[in-house]
Amino acid sequence: MHARRARRPLQRHQSPRRARGRAGVRIQINYPVRVGELSYTNTVPFRLDSRWNITPCPSPRLLTSWAEEGRVDAGVISAVDGWRLEKDFEALPYGIAARRQVRSVILFSRRPWNQLTGAVIGLTDQSSTSVRLLRLLLETRDSQKPVFREGLAVDDDARLLIGDQALTPTPGLVADYPHQTDLAAEWNRWQGQPFVFARWRVRRAVAEFWRRELGEALGTALDHFDRNRANTVRASARALRLSSLDLSAYFDGLTYRLTDEEAAAEERFRSLLGRAASEVAR
């Protein structure tokens, strides 16, 4: 009789990899985490393997809605929305921050910044964090009283744009709104801190193993971006019709690995918003 071959013990969690099926055919095994992926250029360094069940998403606000509805388990969530979700979503040390200017969160205006009292400002519906920052700068810091209006209209005196729309404005937009203000630069001039626009979060119900793996995958994605930066910048610059030099400078101004400095700045922003809300409630 032949001795029975001992069975190898099953491992509950193995390092993510591609398995091989019969005849050596490679089989893709998707991970049990659904990741929402924003299409903005500033999220390019976070591009993950397709095994993370990637769902493309056109705007930060929609990504937040998907997280609330249970359609995605992770993504780079707008800072203000992330605080609201923190009971169910764990924060990771990755995100999108700017130490000085950001170049993709811009107020385009027909009037100078210090003459916006009474001006009608059209607000992008894509991000709550940028809108809250704008209001904090104008109303709290500068004591101005503009009229904020959801959405964009032809009679706007100013309009807040984010993402690639702000990074690559049309000539017509620049002609109509000749005064452009970078909100991250204004925050830094006021507080002397970086500004955190968004942070990666993952659903707490996801197994700890996979939450940890996601964090490692994000770090690996950033390492890959750093190693292949020249090629990635060239490809993205062509798509945006920007020069590689301009787009490289854009990425230079962004911080993706968030440290205690960014955490302190984020908490400062949260505190100032809370104080401003208390003043209004009086």
What is the domain partition of the chain in residue ranges?
A: 27-98+196-281, 105-191
In this structure, what token pair is assigned to residue 34? 């659904």
Using CB atoms within 10 Å of the CB of residue 33, give its burial: 0 to 12 exposed, 13 to 18 middle, 19+ buried.
buried
Look up the CATH architecture of domain 105-191: 3-Layer(aba) Sandwich (3.40)
CATH code, residues 27-98+196-281: 3.40.190.10
105 has a pLDDT exceeding 90: yes
Whether 105-191 and 27-98+196-281 are alike in CATH topology: the answer is yes
Mean pLDDT of 195-218: 98
Q: What is the pLDDT of residues 12-54, one digit of tens each?
A: 334 455 555 555 556 667 899 999 999 999 999 999 999 999 9
Banded model confidence at residue 166, pLDDT cuts 50, 70, 90: very high
Q: 0.85 cut: is pTM over it?
A: yes
Q: What is the 3-state secondary structure (H, E, C) of the chain?
A: CCCCCCCCCCCCCCCCCCEECHHHCEECCCCCCCEEEECCHHHHHHCCCHHHCEEEECCHHHHHHHHHHCCCCEEEEEHHHHHHHCCCEEEEEEEEEECCCCCCEEEEECCCHHHCCCCEEEECCCCHHHHHHHHHHHHHHCCCCCEEEEECCCCCCEEEEEHHHHHCCCHHHHHHCCEEEEHHHHHHHHHCCCEEEEEEEEECCCCHHHHHHHHHHHHHHHHHHHHCHHHHHHHHHHHHCCCHHHHHHHHHCEEEECCHHHHHHHHHHHHHHHHHHHHHHC
Tokens coding 147 = 């009229």
pLDDT at 25: 57
Residue 10 has a pLDDT of 35
* Listed range (17-26, 242-251, 260-269) with the worst mean pLDDT: 17-26
Give the C-alpha separation, 116 to 252, whole Å: 31
